[in-house]
Structure 1
Amino acid sequence: MRKKILCFTLCLMVLCFSSHPKTYGAETNKNEDNQKLMSLYKKVETLTTIPWYVFAAIDQYERNVRHSRRDIPKAPGLIEIYIKPEVWTGPLNPNQKDTDPRTIGLFGGIGVDGNGDKKAEPTNDEDVLYTIANYLQSYGSDLDNIKIGLWEYYHRDKAVGLILGHMKLFQKYGRLDLEGHAFPIPRQYNFTYHNTWGDARGWGGRRIHEGTDIFANYGVPVRSTCFGVIEMKGWNRYGGWRVGIRDIDNTYHYFAHLNGFADGLKVGQVVEPGQLIGSVGSSGYGPPGTSGKFPPHLHYGLYKDNGRTEWSFDPYPHLKAWERAERNKK
């Protein structure tokens, strides 16, 4: 009997100790990658005087785009900025795999040598990062000219706006790990919700419900679910008083039917998980000020941008995960 108990105890110990290294290893690798990325950003900042958070923001935007599309190849290194072959080597270059900076420049390509090995390789992190830096520097290193350079590169206002938002976040917090989340309603208040994403809606025409409704009393605090930038604040005839926050993953967090906004909340403001942004209400379904056409609740939606378009996805699993994480913390 004693031997069985001893064996059982040893098995439990083995399970406990063997399960932790996986999580710890994943966190360690992420931290190490962030340290390496920051080192690369800072190195190019020193060479170009363009702030490191500009490169971090471009890289983060491109990383999100890569991970949400299938037509862009997987990044060969840590830097995930994708430069098309014809842009790297030049549109008329007969050799789309050219790595010679001289012929690349001759054919109007933007690829340059960033690590001093006399090759301009789109698979080399330093070359890619320095190429983007060199491109931006051709317009100027101040913010206004960087905006112009970004627009000339992407030709999409939305892309420029998202990158500028990422820049704000990295500049304010001075670090890359800005992926924390919070449940939008504080735990001490009564609330209830279930998965309503995709349900039919009739007011204003046939449409689907692009979010999860969290029912709570009037005036219950509503908090930011992420690190992000206030992208939109105001009235919408469907959503009433609403707030939109863009996070570091190009995801748009939509809070609707609010009773009011937090004091001083404004478009362009940086917010973080758990920060007060408003309160639960029943506004919407009419002109500004319309309220009471349905029970008080928070409509919470999530939208993803992939560099071309934006679409809604189900927030319910994320809400459950954030609620569970906060409960476990307590």
Structure 2
Amino acid sequence: MATKKKKPLLSPNAKIFLILLLIPIALMIYIFAFFSWQQIKGLPFFDEFTEKSVYQQIQEQFDLEIPIEYIPVYVSAEQKYGVPWTLLAAHHRVETRFSSLKKLESPVGAEGHMQFMPCTFVGWKHPSCKGLGQGEITEKEKTNPAVIQKYGGYGVDANGDGVADPYDIEDAVYSAANFLSRAGVKEGQIQKAVFQYNHSKKYVQDILHYYNLYTDYGDQLKQLALEEAK
């Protein structure tokens, strides 16, 4: 029994007409999508979202994130003392895990965000300074810029409040930068300066590890942090 041929739903002419009709529609959709995307990219939230994504991608390269609010402090100290901000960040990471420790005081008496021994902060010329450098220094003396200057210490009043406080993040970072600069960084002797900060080869290795790691992303992190701080 012969089967009846099915009639095509659309004739060849109708198919051609439909294709010609769809081409301008597709083109209009493409143009609309393109210009809409350009408009979206121009919105403030888009840049913010992109920047945060880049920042997060960089931070994922580290075992412990660098708190973005500290980077402008490191950068400011770098500008004053010539110590790379990434080196200061490395010290902060190793000394107190970016100040995340519950107690910012070591068993031997090092104090604050960047772990200064009191005699190093105030100055070894202080009459009580000997041994490991704990000294018998009153809190009033310890944070007095005039006393620090008198005894040749490294403590700095970074924020101009009349107090050089190792427990103040700005003062602590500036003091560390002051120490490292005078210990050799300003002459380009970074390894020597780090060893002066802590006489341990393992310590030097750890600091240089983080310093090199942070420096790989230093420019990007600096730009993102400074824009965030505006």
* Band of TM-score, shorter chain: 0.5 to 0.7
| Alignment-mate amino acid for residue 169 of structure 2 | D
Aligned-residue offset at 1:104: 1.7
User: What does the per-residue CA deviation read over 1:5-41, in whole Å, with 9 as the maximum and x for residues that have no partner?
Assistant: xxxxxxxxxxxxxxxxxxxxxx9xx9x9822111111
Within 5 Å, give how 1:120-269 maps onto structure 2. 120-141=164-185, 144-174=188-218
SS in 2 for 1:123: coil
CA RMSD of aligned residues (A): 3.4
User: What is the CA–CA distance in structure 2 between the aligned matches of 1:113 and 1:35, rounded to whole Å?
Assistant: 22
Stretches of structure 1 that go unaligned for 5 or more consecutive residues are: 1-26, 74-78, 177-330
The 1:173–1:139 alpha-carbon spacing in structure 2 relative to 1, beyond 3 Å, is same
2:73–2:170 Cα contact (<8 Å) kept? yes
Other-structure match for 2:160 = 116
Between the aligned residues of both structures, percent identity stands at 29
The 1:155–1:113 alpha-carbon spacing in structure 2 relative to 1, beyond 3 Å, is same
User: What does the per-residue CA deviation read over 1:93-121, in whole Å, with 9 as the maximum and x for residues that have no partner?
Assistant: 55331222121222233212111223211
User: What is the CA–CA distance in structure 1 between the aligned matches of 2:137 and 2:202, rounded to whole Å?
Assistant: 33
The 1:54–1:155 alpha-carbon spacing in structure 2 relative to 1, beyond 3 Å, is same
Pair 1:46 & 2:115 matched: no
The 1:58–1:47 alpha-carbon spacing in structure 2 relative to 1, beyond 3 Å, is same
The 1:51–1:106 alpha-carbon spacing in structure 2 relative to 1, beyond 3 Å, is same
Aligned-residue offset at 1:143: 7.6
Aligned-residue offset at 1:89: 2.1
| 99, 106, 115: which one aligns with 2:150 | 106
Mean alpha-carbon deviation: is it higher for 84-93 or for 51-60? 84-93
Number of residue-to-residue matches in the alignment: 143
TM-score (norm 2): 0.52
User: What is the CA–CA distance in structure 2 between the aligned matches of 1:49 and 1:109, rounded to whole Å?
Assistant: 19
User: What does the per-residue CA deviation read over 1:163-209, in whole Å, with 9 as the maximum and x for residues that have no partner?
Assistant: 00000110112377xxxxxxxxxxxxxxxxxxxxxxxxxxxxxxxxx
TM-score (norm 1): 0.38
Aligned-residue offset at 1:137: 1.2
Other-structure match for 2:137 = 95
2:118–2:137 Cα contact (<8 Å) kept? no
Q: Which has the higher strand share?
A: 1
| Alignment-mate amino acid for residue 95 of structure 1 | I
User: What is the CA–CA distance in structure 2 between the aligned matches of 1:110 and 1:157, rounded to whole Å?
Assistant: 23
User: What does the per-residue CA deviation read over 1:224-259, in whole Å, with 9 as the maximum and x for residues that have no partner?
Assistant: xxxxxxxxxxxxxxxxxxxxxxxxxxxxxxxxxxxx
Aligned-residue offset at 1:69: 9.9
1:86–1:96 Cα contact (<8 Å) kept? no
User: What is the CA–CA distance in structure 2 between the aligned matches of 1:71 and 1:51, rounded to whole Å?
Assistant: 24
2:78–2:85 Cα contact (<8 Å) kept? yes
The 1:55–1:65 alpha-carbon spacing in structure 2 relative to 1, beyond 3 Å, is closer
Other-structure match for 2:8 = none
Larger radius of gyration: 2
Other-structure match for 1:298 = none
2:92–2:99 Cα contact (<8 Å) kept? no
Q: Which has the higher helix share?
A: 2
Aligned-residue offset at 1:128: 0.7
| Alignment-mate amino acid for residue 88 of structure 2 | F
Other-structure match for 2:24 = none
User: What does the per-residue CA deviation read over 1:270-318, in whole Å, with 9 as the maximum and x for residues that have no partner?
Assistant: xxxxxxxxxxxxxxxxxxxxxxxxxxxxxxxxxxxxxxxxxxxxxxxxx
User: What does the per-residue CA deviation read over 1:52-82, in whole Å, with 9 as the maximum and x for residues that have no partner?
Assistant: 1010000001124987898936xxxxx8311
| Alignment-mate amino acid for residue 137 of structure 2 | N
Greater relative contact order: 1 or 2 (C-alpha under 8 angstroms, separation 6 or more)?
2
| Alignment-mate amino acid for residue 160 of structure 2 | G
Within 5 Å, give how 1:284-323 maps onto structure 2. none
User: What is the CA–CA distance in structure 2 between the aligned matches of 1:72 and 1:46, rounded to whole Å?
Assistant: 28
2:98–2:113 Cα contact (<8 Å) kept? no
User: What is the CA–CA distance in structure 2 between the aligned matches of 1:161 and 1:146, rounded to whole Å?
Assistant: 12
